[in-house]
Amino acid sequence: MRKYHPFLVTLHWLMVLMIPLSLTAGGIILANLPNDNPAKVTFLGGHMGFGLTIGAVLIIRLITRIRSTHPARATTGNEFLDRISLWTHWGFYVLIAGMVLTGLATALSAGLLPIVFGGSGDPLPATFDGLPQLFLHGFRAVLLIALIVLHILAALYHQFILKDGLMGRMWYGKRD
Ligand code: HEM
């Protein structure tokens, strides 16, 4: 088996687009938009809806990963690097699931669901500052960015130093 299942390939590249968009929307746009700005509820709705969609894609991806055949685990020839690679891959599932759950916990504790999705018309809380759920959400975002950087560096190492054509496994084409 030389390549991943094409559906898994699609989900992988979809996540590559969705995760940085979410990190940017949350960390740069929302975090700097005061809660009394009239556009805030719309932006929150976009971020929360998008984040929940990422959660759904993650579950579909996990099921596809478990149920489809896939190439043998890539190796660098170095046991330590191979172990980091394994932890990185599972770390993605844990961190992304954690982002969705802490985001949801933030929304629930600030009473955002009826305001953002239910059209209750109630005002947003004056600020989200000090919510431990949001602190965890932001902290996980930093860990996720670190993991993404590590993942990209590993892919480049395989592609350009080891020259083992690893990137091709996560693309479409004949699988065996
Ligand atoms: C993988 C999915 C997600 C990513 C990458 C993401 C990313 C972020 C980031 C980077 C921030 C800024 C954190 C900070 O200021 O310290 C943020 C804020 C926030 N996120 Fe998410 N998020 C995701 C999913 C969700 C979900 C599912 C919800 C709720 C259903 C949610 C609700 C929020 C809320 C309420 C804020 C606070 C916005 C503000 O400060 O005004 N997020 N998110």
Q: CB under 8 Å to 131, separation ≥6 — which residues?
A: 106, 109, 110
Question: Quick check: is 16 in a domain?
Answer: yes
How many Cα atoms are found within 13 Å in the side-chain-facing hemisphere of 170? 16
Question: Quick check: is 129 in a domain?
Answer: yes
Question: Quick check: is 100 in a domain?
Answer: yes
Tell me the two tokens of residue 15. 């996540």
Mean pLDDT of 141-153: 97
Maximal CA-CA distance, the chain: 59
Question: Quick check: is 176 in a domain?
Answer: no
Q: What tens digit of pLDDT does each residue of 76-135 get?
A: 889 999 999 999 999 999 999 999 999 999 999 999 999 999 999 999 999 999 999 999
What is the residue type of 174? K
Question: Quick check: is 1 in a domain?
Answer: no
Q: What tens digit of pLDDT does each residue of 19-64 get?
A: 999 999 999 999 999 999 999 999 999 999 999 999 999 999 999 9
Q: Is the CB of 134 under 6 A from ligand 1?
A: yes
Report the separation in Å between the CA atom of 6 and the middle of ligand 1, taken as the mean of its atom positions. Answer: 30
pLDDT over threshold 80, residue 1: no
Looking at residue 139, the DSSP 8-state letter turns out to be: H
Q: Write the CATH number for 163.
A: 1.20.950
| CA–CA gap between residue 56 and residue 130 (Å, rounded) | 28
pLDDT over threshold 80, residue 136: yes
| CA–CA gap between residue 116 and residue 107 (Å, rounded) | 9
Report the separation in Å between the CA atom of 26 and the middle of ligand 1, taken as the mean of its atom positions. Answer: 5
pLDDT over threshold 90, residue 175: no
Report the separation in Å between the CA atom of 111 and the middle of ligand 1, taken as the mean of its atom positions. Answer: 15
Question: Quick check: is 175 in a domain?
Answer: no
Q: Is the CB of 133 under 6 A from ligand 1?
A: no
pLDDT over threshold 90, residue 2: no
Burial of 115 (0-12, 13-18, 19+ CB in 10 A): buried
Among 32, 137, 145, which is best to mutate for testing ligand 1, by the most ligand atoms less than 8 A from CB? Answer: 137
Q: How far is CA 102 from CA 75, 108, 121, 165, in A?
A: 34, 10, 24, 37
Report the separation in Å between the CA atom of 157 and the middle of ligand 1, taken as the mean of its atom positions. Answer: 31
Q: Is the CB of 57 under 6 A from ligand 1?
A: no
Q: How far is CA 143 from CA 12, 63, 80, 137, 158, in A?
A: 19, 24, 20, 10, 23
Q: Residue 116: which domain range?
A: 6-170
How does residue 176 score in pLDDT terms, banded at 50, 70 and 90?
confident
* Domain total in the chain: 1
